[in-house]
Structure 1
Amino acid sequence: MKFSLWLPANLPWSDLLAAATHAADAGWRGVWLEDHFMDNTDEPNDGARGECLTQLTALAATVPGIRIGSMVLGNTYRHPGVVAKQGAAISDISQGQFVLGVGAGWQENEHRAFGIEYGDVPSRIRWFREALAIWKGLRDENFVDFSGERYTLEHASLNPKPHPSLPILIGGKGEKVMPRLVAEYADEWNFWSTPDQYAPKNEIFTAALEKAGRDPKSLWRTTQALTFQQPDGAEKAARMGRPAIGGTPQQLVDTMAAYAAGGVDEFILPLTSLSDVAKINDLGDRFLAEVAAHVS
């Protein structure tokens, strides 16, 4: 199993650079940033929030030798053709280390605040399907003509092409449409989970790959959960309202083994609620030394 780090998007650039540089030196496989314009909390909502693609571009130019990715870009925020151009540029700057993580978009308050059309869930899924076709088409073909409900491309090209490729990661856990989208368009797949949640969901997505005639091993599978590395961490995790894990280092090693048995290729440690670089580095180092180093 591989391990990556999810860094806070609210850090000023000097702190984000320091945390990402430390992560690269420490041996993490990659670092990820979320794509939101504001917190999903009650008003007033004026907390710090960086812009994902700008931050990733800066990291691509300054922190070599580590994968960087978006976890995940909300499709509704930008035209997919423009995102493809941005992604290709970041891929080139990072020497092929960029992962284009994408999702349909879900956070209503930032759509309202920034005047972005939100739509209902079926609409956002249809728009996302169109965007996926555009991203894959521009990446893999010389020219793309596309006429859809929301997007239109006329003889568009992605030149220069990504270097050497541009993996597409889809973030999503829906069981009706999302497995088909992942099977058709994704190189990687991600959703929040505990081991008990991951295994049955993975079976559904694997079945979709097989139905599409695709080798299940061709999909890289990642997950994350709030992580409490402390003696009472399991009890604390149980009280969370979202996927969470915890316990002693050995308990977390066992949890990672359960993830691997369920089909996970890579665990992403989210430290997105922290703002102190020293604490981010310390928690990350402890996880690598006490947990990741003992997982096969």
Structure 2
Amino acid sequence: MKFSLWLPANLSWHDLRAAAAHAAAPRAGSVDWRGLWLEDHFMDNTDEPNDGARGEALTQLTALAATVPDVRIGSLVLGNTYRHPAVVAKQAAAISDISQGRFVLGLGAGWQENEHRAFGLEFGDVPARIRWFREALQVITALRDEEFADFEGERYRLEHASLNPKPHPPLPILIGGKGEKVMPKLVARYADEWNMWSTPDLFAAKNRIFTAALEDAGRDPATLWRTTQALTFQGDDGAERAARSARPAIGGTPSQLVDTIAAFAEAGVDEFILPLTGVHDVARIQDLSDRFLAEVAVHVA
């Protein structure tokens, strides 16, 4: 199993770069982080007043691509409703070039209603957002894979559009989602990687559904890279804190976390992403990530 780190998007650039550079530094005799991920939101999902700091994901990822070497970088995940997918394809190609092929384009249908309202973005209902998302995947892959792309959909339109220069091949597309009806088919058709929040039991159940969709589409299930994350509470009270979490969470002593991460691997996870999105002190980010690598990851990798 590989391990990656999900950094807070609301750090200042100075602090974000410091945290990313520390994570990317090689560690002799230890496990290294495979990648660094950033979320894509314009505001917190909290009650008003809502004026917390929040960076812009593609701008931050571009800066990381230019200044932090070796590790993969990616969006976890871009909200489709925020940008036209053809513009996203152009931005992704540029970041891929800057990073020399280390960029992963993570995409999702969009879900956070308050930022759509605040920024004047059309939200739609769930079926509409899924339709728009399918079209966006068609647009992006057509621009990535074809010399010229034409497309006429409900929401998006291309007329002899060309993505030039092309991204460094290949530009991996990650789809974030856990729905059991449409999302497995979209992953089977368009995704190189798939991500969802989970616990080991939840991931195992969902993975069976997504694997079946791959098989139904005539695709080798081994060609899909599977990633997950869960809030992670380290310490003697970690399991109790995880049980109280509203989001998928794991916790416990280092030995307990080793067993839990091993259960993720048994469930089919290829890469566990450690989310530190709620930690805003760089020293603590560095400490928590170093401890996880030394106490947990090294015993599972």
Alignment TM-score, normalising by the size of structure 1? 0.99
Question: Could you tell me how far 1:232 is from its partner in structure 2?
Answer: 1.4
Q: Would you say how many aligned residue pairs link Structure 1 and Structure 2?
A: 296
CA distance, structure 1, for counterparts of residue 224 and residue 126 of structure 2 = 25
**Which residue matches 1:7?**
7
**Which residue matches 1:209?**
214
**SS of equivalent to 2:137:** helix
CA distance, structure 1, for counterparts of residue 254 and residue 201 of structure 2 = 19
- Unaligned runs of at least 5 residues, structure 2: 27-31
CA distance, structure 1, for counterparts of residue 170 and residue 22 of structure 2 = 26
Question: Could you tell me how far 1:164 is from its partner in structure 2?
Answer: 2.6
**Which residue matches 1:16?**
16
**SS of equivalent to 1:179:** helix
**Which residue matches 1:69?**
74
**Which residue matches 1:110?**
115
Q: What is the one-letter code of the residue matched to 2:53? A: A
**Which residue matches 1:132?**
137
Question: Could you tell me how far 1:64 is from its partner in structure 2?
Answer: 1.1
Question: Could you tell me how far 1:196 is from its partner in structure 2?
Answer: 1.0
**SS of equivalent to 2:44:** coil
Which of 46, 51, 57 is the matching residue for 1:46? 51
Which of 216, 221, 240 is the matching residue for 2:226? 221
Render the CA deviation track for 1:68-112: whole Å, top value 9, x for unaligned: 000000000000000000000000000100000000000000000
Aligned-pair identity in percent equals: 81
Alignment TM-score, normalising by the size of structure 2? 0.98
CA distance, structure 1, for counterparts of residue 202 and residue 80 of structure 2 = 26
Which stretches of structure 1, 4 residues or more, deviate above 3 A after TM superposition?
none
**SS of equivalent to 1:137:** helix
CA distance, structure 2, for counterparts of residue 293 and residue 222 of structure 1 = 18
**SS of equivalent to 1:64:** coil
Conservation of the 8 A alpha-carbon contact between 1:11 and 1:50: yes
Question: Could you tell me how far 1:163 is from its partner in structure 2?
Answer: 1.0
CA distance, structure 1, for counterparts of residue 197 and residue 227 of structure 2 = 9
Render the CA deviation track for 1:202-251: whole Å, top value 9, x for unaligned: 00000000000000000000000000011111111011111000001111
Conservation of the 8 A alpha-carbon contact between 1:229 and 1:249: yes
2:182 equivalent to 1:177: yes
Render the CA deviation track for 1:137-180: whole Å, top value 9, x for unaligned: 11111111000000000011111011132100000000000000
Conservation of the 8 A alpha-carbon contact between 1:71 and 1:171: yes
Q: CA RMSD in A?
A: 0.6
CA distance, structure 2, for counterparts of residue 45 and residue 233 of structure 1 = 29
Conservation of the 8 A alpha-carbon contact between 1:230 and 1:248: yes
CA distance, structure 2, for counterparts of residue 64 and residue 17 of structure 1 = 11
- Unaligned runs of at least 5 residues, structure 1: none
Q: What is the one-letter code of the residue matched to 2:15? A: D
2:255 equivalent to 1:250: yes
Conservation of the 8 A alpha-carbon contact between 1:95 and 1:164: no
CA distance, structure 2, for counterparts of residue 91 and residue 112 of structure 1 = 31
Q: What is the one-letter code of the residue matched to 2:157? A: T
Which of 272, 283, 297 is the matching residue for 1:278? 283
Which of 36, 42, 67 is the matching residue for 1:31? 36
Which of 125, 141, 150 is the matching residue for 1:145? 150
**Which residue matches 2:29?**
none
Conservation of the 8 A alpha-carbon contact between 1:91 and 1:165: no
